[in-house]
């Protein structure tokens, strides 16, 4: 069993890969996994050696949902065994650039939204229930086209938990979200791409290279500060008027122009070389 280390994390070339590590259980979710993932994302989010985070699963699955042993206990006691997964402190990323998201984005994976670095889900296999919610909280999703997906909740007597009722209609439209949530039917990674739920769906043997290519661009070619601000602009924009979004952009543009990354971005373009942007808090 890999429960002693339910989450693995390593950083190479400015990319931190976080792996759900219960391959013998298709990375089924446990309370311990929730705490370890929280700690790994917060550590990567504040690590100057990391510029992008990739979350994937060990073995053949991404995350097949809540571990059935825990779900059986929930059914027997009427109390959730996993709802106490930790949320980050409100000021976990207070020293990083960009507007403060406040309390609008909270819940089990709310810290994904607050993290100043882009988070990519590399979905290698089965992705269901709480695993699907985890993936939809990431900033980008790339999937094995043959992977099985399901909302799963209604088929277990549960409801659209962990933000799915808010996230899914905004991604795929209300009618399709209703179908997928109410029927809990399985759908493939290829269908997920057709639904616009994921960025791309490719054969499993191409998944690593597809994600590596995107991660390399984020780690090497764009400003970490710009990514942090843009990520927060997009999140906040979901609850803003167009005018409010424009006002925020004006403020953030002035701050960006005063930052050394602008000079480096322009100079590197003119000199036809790779940019050397400062670290996020540099």
Residue 90 has pLDDT above 80, yes or no: no
Exposed, middle or buried, 251 (CB in 10 Å: 0-12/13-18/19+)? exposed
**Considering its fold, how many domains does the chain have in total?**
2
| 156 closest CA partner among 274, 72, 255 | 72
Task: Return the pLDDT at 87.
Answer: 56
Residues 207 and 231 in one domain: no
Which domain, by its residues, includes 196? 7-218
Give the tens place of pLDDT for each residue, 199-245: 999 999 999 999 999 999 999 999 999 999 999 999 999 999 999 99
Confirm whether 2 is domain-assigned: no
Token pair for residue 217? Answer: 């661009």
Residues 70 and 208 in one domain: yes
pLDDT confidence band for 93 (50 / 70 / 90): confident
Residues 106 and 230 in one domain: no
- Average pLDDT estimate for 239-257: 94
Residues 155 and 246 in one domain: no
Confirm whether 200 is domain-assigned: yes
Confirm whether 279 is domain-assigned: no
Give the tens place of pLDDT for each residue, 13-67: 999 999 999 999 999 999 999 999 999 999 999 999 999 999 999 999 999 999 8
Q: What is the dihedral of CA 96, 237, 163, 39, to 10 degrees?
A: -10
How far, in Å, CA of 45 to CA of 18, rounded?
Answer: 12
Question: CB of 114 within 8 A of CB of 96?
Answer: no
Residue 206 CB partners (closer than 8 Å, separation 6+): none
If one compares 156 and 201, the residue with the highest pLDDT of the two is: 201
pLDDT confidence band for 12 (50 / 70 / 90): very high
pLDDT confidence band for 69 (50 / 70 / 90): low
Residue 177 has pLDDT above 80, yes or no: yes
Which of 194, 218, 242 corresponds to the end of one domain?
Answer: 218
Give the tens place of pLDDT for each residue, 108-122: 899 999 999 999 999
């Amino acid at each position: 069993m890999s429960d002693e280390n339910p989450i693995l994390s390593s950083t190479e070339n400015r990319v931190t890969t976080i792996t759900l590590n219960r391959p013998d259980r298709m990375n089924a979710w446990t309370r311990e996994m929730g705490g370890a993932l929280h700690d790994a994302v917060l550590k990567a989010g504040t690590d100057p050696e990391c510029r992008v985070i990739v979350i994937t699963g060990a073995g053949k699955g991404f995350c097949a949902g809540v571990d059935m042993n825990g779900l059986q206990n929930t059914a027997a006691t009427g109390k959730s065994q996993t709802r106490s997964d930790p949320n980050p402190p409100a000021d976990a990323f207070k020293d990083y650039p960009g507007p403060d998201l406040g309390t609008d984005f909270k819940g089990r994976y709310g810290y994904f939204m607050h993290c100043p670095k882009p988070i990519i889900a590399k979905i290698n296999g089965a992705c269901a229930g709480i695993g699907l919610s985890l993936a939809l909280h990431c900033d980008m999703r790339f999937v094995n086209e043959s992977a099985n997906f399901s909302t799963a909740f209604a088929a277990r007597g549960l409801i659209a938990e962990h933000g799915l009722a808010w996230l899914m209609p905004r991604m795929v439209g209300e009618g399709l979200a209703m179908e997928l949530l109410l029927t809990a039917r399985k759908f493939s990674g290829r269908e997920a791409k057709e639904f616009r739920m994921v960025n791309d769906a490719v054969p499993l043997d191409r998944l690593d290279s597809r994600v590596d290519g995107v991660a390399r661009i984020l780690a090497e070619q764009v400003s970490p500060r710009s990514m942090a601000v843009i990520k927060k602009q997009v999140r906040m924009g979901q609850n803003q008027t167009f005018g409010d979004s424009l006002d925020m952009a004006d403020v953030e543009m002035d701050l960006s122009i005063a930052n050394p990354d602008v000079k480096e971005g322009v100079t590197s373009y003119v000199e036809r070389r790779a940019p050397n942007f400062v670290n996020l808090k540099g």
